[in-house]
Amino acid sequence: MASTGSSGFLGRSSGSSNNMRGLVQFIADLRNARARELEEKRINKELANIRQKFKDGNLSGYHKKKYVCKLLYIYILGFDVSFGHLEAVNLISSTKYSEKQIGYLAVTLFLHEKHELLHLVVNSIRKDLLDHNELFNCLALHAIANVGGREMGEALGADVHRLLISPTSKSFVKKKAALTLLRLYRKQPAIVQPDWAERIVSLMDDLDMGVALSVTSLVMTLAQDNLELYKGAYAKAVNRLKRIVLDGEYTPDYVYYKVPCPWIQVKLLRLLQYFPPSEDKHIREMLRETLQKILDLALETNKNVQQNNAQNAVLFEAINLIIHLDTEHALMKQISQRLGRFINSRETNVRYLGLEAMTHLAARADTLDPIKQHQDVIIGSLKDRDISVRRKALDLLYSMCDHTNATIIVTELLHYLQNADFAIREEMVLKIAILTEKYATDVQWYVDISLRLIAMAGDHVSDEVWQRVIQIITNNEELQVYAARNCLQYCKQDHCHETLVKIGAYILGEFGHLIAEEKGCSPIEQYLALSSKLGACSSSTRAMILSCFIKFVNLFPEIKQQLVAVFSIYSYSLDAELQQRACEYLTLANMPTDDLLRTVCDEMPPFPERQSALLSRLHQKHSNTSDKRTWVVGGKDANRDQAELNMAKQGGLRKTFTNGSQATGTSAANGQPTGAVNDLIGLDMNNVGPAEQKTVKVPNLASSAHLSPGWERGFNRLLLRTDGILFEDLQLQVGVRSEYRGAMACLILYFTSKSPSIMTGFTTTLDLDESEKGNITWDIKGMPDPTLSHGGQTQQVILFEAKRVFQKAPTIRISYLSGSLQWYTLMLPLAIHKFMDPAELSAEDFFKRWRQIGGAPREAQKIFGLAPAARDAKRELNEDFIRRVVEGFRWGILRGVDPNERNFVGASVVHTTEGGKYGCLLRLEPNYATQMIRLTIRATDESVPPILLKMMEERLVVGMSTQTEKRPPPTVSEISDAFRNVMVR
């Protein structure tokens, strides 16, 4: 009794306690409701007061600011304050910073890019962008970045660009302008004009590291969409990396836990991955040294977590760049060893980055053996506690799979699929299906894995997967019997996924007769297996089963009665599709003859060759990412396929199950509705590829089509000399010293600043006409300094190699910032005659070779005189002038060969590395009385005479001034020493 009483007492106590807690909660709710009611009442009262104040007008700027601040707070609480939007807009026009600041803050919160009031602030924002007050500039830039859409970008984009490139803009304004332009570009790419490219790229050399960082972020996005337009960023990125990592050119403010400028290092390393590896040996060597230094620094162990994080960020981006270059074998060997340690790290971030880098390596490496050594660890990563690590492990297993380990990897993935996260199951199913098809060599293994995959993860199997299975089974006879037998067994099970029922309906309808004689596979058993699934399936699956049954009518007349009964039942279905099918099939089955039935139910032909849609489905999640990577998840074969590399919607597999031919596609499904038929065709109807964009032809400003005015004078002078001034104006002087040895040439370019202001972003770019590509090549041995002070000088050494005879000289584009962007495009004094050596011949040898060469096409001859402009300028042809021209073109003048002593006879040899040597002979016959010349050139190669004739004519028709020209003294010894030093290095 006591026990019972005690128990009852305790029970009542527990109930009282629950009631008490409920009462306390009820009181708290009442208090909260009361508080909300009071708050709403207070806010409504305040809103009424503010509305009245705005209506009365005559408010000072301070009071307007105060009331707009109150509206901001009320808006954040969730109340409607639309009546105050106009007052907030008016505050932007204030001349006081505090009032303007609140106005901009309110506009960024109240308005959106399509708000009807936004057009009212455009003029105010433009005024602030043009203002000399940098703080006003920054407020306007903030507003554009936070609110600006397409219309605002088109109206103000040019003003933002002007602030970015203006030499008077402060560094903090340039930073904000670069990031604002980036935001506008992401919303509307057309806002950034193509002719802005060179000016934007030049800012990567800005002395302020913050500006360089912001501009690099902008260039990273712009370059992904147009590599050719921003190709100048490659050399600048390499040079900046070298100056940070090797030369230590950075301010202490940008050292983060002893790691110099990790943010800009990461961005520069990522930017280089968007471009193909440079062909310039000097840039490659600079990059190699920089990457080696980064790897060496990473060997130092640090206990500081922040330092490790910064160092690892730089290290892994450097590793990805090394893999992208795919040429530095020594560096590749180093990173292969390190990645194995990274994926075993205790830190989740390091494991994630290690798996990602190893996936990139698998996409580039010629052999997967270094990665396969860590296969067990990678498989174990599928069970990592972090889902992002599990995703990367899945990507890596997919990429490293080949014929040697496909069975193990697919088995492990299937085992893990049972407990995998729902977020990655569909992706896992796609990858398992692709690997199964790609590496299966056994008939039974492919069918078993495919059906087991669908049975385990049916809800996560996309249409592309089961349709691909049907395609392959239909097109490979050795699969059909085994597949039909297994499909029937799955359909007989009580719990069979609907996707398996679809496959079973198609396969049994087409190939069920092949197993009809086997035990447990009779026609009636096939019918019972499918009919038992009719009640629980969707309409599309029922339609496929009905189509299978009409084929059974044709194949198995003994069960026609049961089949017709099914058609009769569904002829009254409320579903129009099912009703129509049932009525049509019922009519076919009851026709007096079977001729039409046999025709309609004829066996489906093999599907036409078409690429699989599996890869399209797999890469769909990466197609719209902001970072357009240069590789895709998959092995090296996948990355060799340009379509898959570009995330193309029609990526497709390239082989069938049994042979190496192209993967086959599909035609109409076995009685499937129209939408599913389209899927079976192998086309992704729900994901239309990106519309073809108009490609804008990017002008090559370094080409001969954009030569700067005044380039001819220095060029023509240096055609006959080895050193001198190539170009000079009020800001820059370009000097050239050169030496030629056989088919090799060394040019040392000297750039001297004459500008009173500092030159920054000094850049040179070489170019060659497309028709001459391969005839002459160069190797840059040094980059000019990016910064030049008044009177300062920098140089650039370039080695040229004449591989074959060429006609057009290379050009050089020089650009720098000095108040504004300045640029020059000059033609280098490099011509085929520079690679000629004078030859000594006797008269007998000369005439012998003259006759051996013969006339056309190995001869070029022309009679010409002074140009009209030269005659008007009182210029003339005389012996001294002609001799200097002939010697300047490196002819060896032969005396005593021609009977007429006034004639010039010469011989030389043209040197090329691939074309060999060509002998050249010259006969120049001047008539000083008539001021005419007959010039004849013969050579052992027919391409040489017309080129030499044209160049000599262009120089001779100019003539010589009647006043004596003084020739500058030669500096052969200095040039020889410089050339020798460069060649030794």
Same fold flag, 711-830 and 834-961 = no
3-state secondary structure (DSSP) of residue 798: strand
What's the pLDDT score for residue 665? 36
Q: Is the pLDDT of residue 349 over 80?
A: yes
Q: Tell me: pLDDT of 241 over 90.
A: yes
Percent of the chain surpassing pLDDT 90 = 19
The sign of the torsion formed by the CA atoms of 977, 979, 981, 983 equals negative
Reply yes or no on whether the pLDDT at 1 is more than 90.
no
- pLDDT score of 464: 79
Closest C-alpha to 323, from 629, 781, 642: 629
Q: In this predicted model, what pLDDT tens digit does every residue of 427-469 receive, in sequence order?
A: 888 888 888 888 887 778 888 888 888 888 777 887 878 888 8
Give the N- to C-terminal CA distance of the chain in Å, as an integer.
108
| CATH code for residues 711-830 | 2.60.40.1230
Q: Which pLDDT score is estimated for 309?
A: 87
Q: What pLDDT, on a 0 to 100 scale, did the predictor assign at position 401?
A: 87
Give pLDDT, residue 245. 92
Whole-number Å distance between alpha carbons of 807 and 369: 50
Tell me if 682 is assigned to a ligand binding site.
Answer: no
Q: In this predicted structure, what is the pLDDT of residue 698? A: 55
Q: Is 62 annotated as belonging to a binding site?
A: yes
The verdict on whether residue 67 carries a ligand-binding annotation is: yes
The alpha carbons of the chain give a radius of gyration, in whole angstroms, of 40
Of the two residues 543 and 616, the one the predictor is more confident about is 543
> Contact at 8 Å (CB) between 470 and 680?
yes
Q: How confident is the model at residue 5 (pLDDT cuts 50, 70, 90)?
A: very low
Q: What is the pLDDT of residue 10?
A: 37
pLDDT of residue 735: 93
Tokens for 461, please give them: 């199997």
How remote is the C-alpha of 731 from its chain's centroid?
38
Residue 22 is assigned to a ligand binding site = yes
Question: Is the pLDDT at 659 greater than 50, yes or no?
Answer: no
HEC-encoded secondary structure of 33-83: HHHHHHHHHHHHHHHHHHHHHHHHCCCCHHHHHHHHHHHHHHHHCCCCCHH
Q: Is residue 61 a known part of a binding site?
A: no
Kindly give the pairing relationship between strand 820-827 and strand 904-912. unpaired
Higher pLDDT: 281 or 695? It is 281
Q: In CATH, what number does 834-961 get?
A: 3.30.310.10
Q: What is the pLDDT of residues 292-308, one digit of tens each?
A: 999 888 877 777 888 88
Report strand pairing: 255-256 vs 916-927. Answer: unpaired
Do the beta carbons of residue 238 and residue 287 sit within 8 Å? yes
Listed by start position, the domains of the chain span 422-475, 476-604, 711-830, 834-961
What's the pLDDT tens digit per position in 975-984?
Answer: 344 444 433 4
Closest by Cα among 492, 445, 509, 436 to 466:
436
pLDDT in tens, 314-343: 999 998 898 888 766 777 777 877 888 888
Q: What is the pLDDT of residues 143-165, one digit of tens each?
A: 899 887 888 888 888 899 999 98
Give residue 609's pLDDT: 64
Better pLDDT: 861 or 120: 861
The confidence score (pLDDT) of residue 889 equals: 92
pTM of the entire predicted model: 0.73
Q: With CA atoms as reference, report the closest residue to 316 among 260, 282, 359, 278.
A: 359
**Residue appearing with tokens 């996409």:** 363
Q: Is 45 annotated as a binding residue?
A: no
What are the tens digits of pLDDT across the range 676-727? 333 333 333 333 344 444 444 555 666 666 788 888 889 988 988 889 999 9
Q: Long-range contacts made by residues 16-21, C-beta under 8 angstroms, separation at least 24?
A: none
Tokens of 72: 């901001």
Q: How confident is the model at residue 627 (pLDDT cuts 50, 70, 90)?
A: low
Tokens representing 966? Answer: 């003084």
- Residue 21 assigned as binding residue: yes
> Is residue 741 a contact partner of residue 802, using CB atoms and an 8 Å limit?
no
- What does the pLDDT read at residue 947? 92
What is the share, in percent, of the chain residues with pLDDT greater than 70?
Answer: 85
